[in-house]
Structure 1
Amino acid sequence: MDTPVPAEWAPHRAMWVGWPSHAELWEEDLAPAQAEVEGLVRALAGPGREQVRLMVGKPEALADARARFADVAGVEVVDGRFGDIWLRDTGPIFGAGSNSAAAFRFNGWGGKYALEHDDTVADQIAKASDTPLDRHDFILEGGALDHDGAGAILTTRQCLLNPNRNPDWTEAAAEAALARALAARRVVWLGDGLLNDHTDGHVDNLARFVGPNLVACPVAWGRNDPNADVYDACARDLITAGFEVLRVPSPGLVLDEDERPIPASHMNFLIANGAVIMPTYGDDRAADLAGQALQTAFPDREIVLLPSTAILTGGGSFHCISQQEPA
């Protein structure tokens, strides 16, 4: 890639979204997750927004997906194969103008979840979008990075330097690889990601570019927020690196069915043409305040708040299941 990856707020020609397709993975959460993804897709495909390319990962799920969106002109249902819906991580990273896309090796987030077809998603998306693919022989997930469009990349040491990805990587080795593959000019290193994040601390749950020198990161919500120290350390690192920081209220403590904290994050918002779509997790006051904070960074975009509690049972949210094609 000769030029840096565009910022997510730059115009898109299309947005890929993964459709929950595997009942054996989602079990009782399948129908609720499909309902939440349907809400996201309909918000994306609104007037003046995105051409959505909805990737369905199993033949048995195709008919239902087509029927659900038969009334939405801006949705193309794509017959594909994947292990699960996390296209941000398994798909390619598109370059400027979507004239090329970068593909990387994928090992199931450090060997935790090795699912059939996930290692072919980048090829499928490149073929369906008619985009030449540049292959790179190292392990990387798209959610581990965030881009400002001018060559700066945010990432976390917890993920990118984890020995379960590229065991020999140092900061210098990672920076050189990102410079070659994605035209990175500066890599901004943060520390740990959210507690119990099975991605080993993806940055798209922690900190996101929302302007040329402006980065959003959470501030703890409630006295028992398990990530309060992580959020504050992130903000300090960003300020030290020279960025303006927008503190956005977190969802606070969100528990799974076994009463364990799960990595719910308002940072997993999706910047679309004309809108910013932010996931919510049941605390309406926290979500409203987070939406108001994001509105200050995106005054010309509608801030859309949509539930993502069922999607989160699979480990991620709106940003994790999507990938944009820059215009």
Structure 2
Amino acid sequence: MIKPTETNTLYFSSLLSSKEEFKSFFEALSRTLNSLKIPFHLLPYTRDIWARDYMPIQIGIDDFLEYRYDPDYLLSTAKQDRGSKTYTGLVCDALGLRTRKTDLILDGGNVVNSSKCVILTDKVVIENKHWYSKKQVIDKLHEDFRAEKVILVPWDKSEPYGHIDGVLRFINEETVLINDCYKDDLNLIQLLRKNGLKTEFLQFTVKKPHRDNWAYINFLQTQDIILMPTLGIDEDEKAFDQLGHFFPTYLKNNRIVPLRSEDIIKHGGALNCVSWTVDEF
């Protein structure tokens, strides 16, 4: 599988530039990327800003996995706070991108991977229960992602979308970085370690943790940059220092870059959520 550290091309929904509520954020994002000479592109025909959720997952250079983007939060009127459904096929056709299709229901925010391992919350089992058993879902994930290892962790129901990219990220092939709010989740930690992964933790020792400090783990990562969401609070500096410790090569090259992101965080996602990163040559 293509790892974030192997990606070199950035895409965002065109809605970030056209919707008034996101224009200030998009201008800051554009300035930051332009100052670093990192090009980016806008995706057409998108109907919400969360490009990670509906765009295909890159498995190999010319292998893009397109899944059924029918998550429950778009099917229930009560949960339609993340916008209307984007039809992935329309976007890919406009890009001239060929995809390989799977009939599994999932979304990209529920996929974190290294080159050989993919981690998801077990919401993928719940959303596919009418068609596949848990074992069949796991077998299909192995096949579709061409992954040696598939790890399903329990869905934290306090996070309504069932995404994994607010829980943990890979530091390297052997180690994952876990968000502060899960540092005492022994079931999660033991499951990861049972599957041969080492664990590190993003932690904040402040008197009153900010309710949105979960967003730091949802950074945007390519081979050239870690773009870290910030909130203008004490935890910003602590998060920056820790990411620098865990990703020293990025820090050494001045490529861990903070970006104020409240305008998107208040809608339930951060910088990994709004980006689609691929390896293009």
Please tell me the TM-score bracket, short chain as reference: 0.7 to 0.9
Q: Specify the alignment match of 1:155 in structure 2.
A: 120
Give, in angstroms, the shift of residue 287 of structure 1: 2.1
Q: Specify the alignment match of 1:290 in structure 2.
A: 239
Q: Which string of whole-angstrom CA distances, capped at 9 and with x for unpartnered residues, describes residues 174-218 of structure 1?
A: 2212122221221112223373x231x200000111211110112
- In structure 2, relative to structure 1, the CA distance for the partners of 1:228 and 1:185 (3 Å cut) is closer
User: Does residue 1:143 correspond to 2:109, yes or no?
Assistant: yes
Answer whether contact 1:153 1:187 (CA < 8 A) is retained: yes
The amino acid of 1:156's aligned partner reads T
Helix, strand or coil at the partner of 1:278: strand
Answer whether contact 1:16 1:54 (CA < 8 A) is retained: yes
Find the aligned partners of 2:95 and 2:245 in 1 and give their Cα distance. 34
Q: Specify the alignment match of 1:271 in structure 2.
A: 221
Q: Kindly report the root-mean-square deviation, in angstroms, between the aligned alpha carbons of the 2 structures.
A: 2.7
The count of corresponding residues between Structure 1 and Structure 2 is: 268
Q: Specify the alignment match of 1:83 in structure 2.
A: 47
- Residue 192 of structure 2, aligned match among 220, 238, 251: 238
Q: Specify the alignment match of 1:17 in structure 2.
A: 12
Q: Specify the alignment match of 2:160 in structure 1.
A: 198
Alignment of 1:20-31 (within 5 A): 20=16, 30-31=20-21
Answer whether contact 2:215 2:265 (CA < 8 A) is retained: no
Answer whether contact 1:211 1:297 (CA < 8 A) is retained: no
Helix, strand or coil at the partner of 1:137: strand
Answer whether contact 1:246 1:293 (CA < 8 A) is retained: no
- In structure 2, relative to structure 1, the CA distance for the partners of 1:299 and 1:117 (3 Å cut) is same
After the TM superposition, list the runs of 4 or more consecutive aligned residues in structure 1 that deviate by more than 6 angstroms. Answer: none
The amino acid of 2:273's aligned partner reads C
Answer whether contact 1:48 1:273 (CA < 8 A) is retained: no
Find the aligned partners of 2:239 and 2:190 in 1 and give their Cα distance. 20
Tell me the TM-score normalized by structure 1.
0.73
- Residue 178 of structure 1, aligned match among 141, 147, 152: 141
- In structure 2, relative to structure 1, the CA distance for the partners of 1:46 and 1:213 (3 Å cut) is farther
Tell me the TM-score normalized by structure 2.
0.83
The amino acid of 1:17's aligned partner reads F
User: Does residue 1:219 correspond to 2:180, yes or no?
Assistant: yes
Q: Which string of whole-angstrom CA distances, capped at 9 and with x for unpartnered residues, describes residues 75-130 of structure 1?
A: xxxxx222211111111112322x13111111244423395551x2x224423443
Q: Specify the alignment match of 1:37 in structure 2.
A: 26
Find the aligned partners of 1:41 and 1:102 in 2 and give their Cα distance. 28
- In structure 2, relative to structure 1, the CA distance for the partners of 1:300 and 1:45 (3 Å cut) is farther
The amino acid of 2:245's aligned partner reads T
- In structure 2, relative to structure 1, the CA distance for the partners of 1:168 and 1:214 (3 Å cut) is same
Find the aligned partners of 2:223 and 2:27 in 1 and give their Cα distance. 18
The amino acid of 2:164's aligned partner reads V
Give, in angstroms, the shift of residue 296 of structure 1: 2.4
Show structure 1 runs of 5+ residues with no match: 24-29, 56-79, 221-226, 256-261
Answer whether contact 1:193 1:206 (CA < 8 A) is retained: no
- In structure 2, relative to structure 1, the CA distance for the partners of 1:83 and 1:21 (3 Å cut) is farther
The amino acid of 1:20's aligned partner reads L
% identical equivalent positions: 21
Helix, strand or coil at the partner of 1:311: helix
Helix, strand or coil at the partner of 2:202: strand
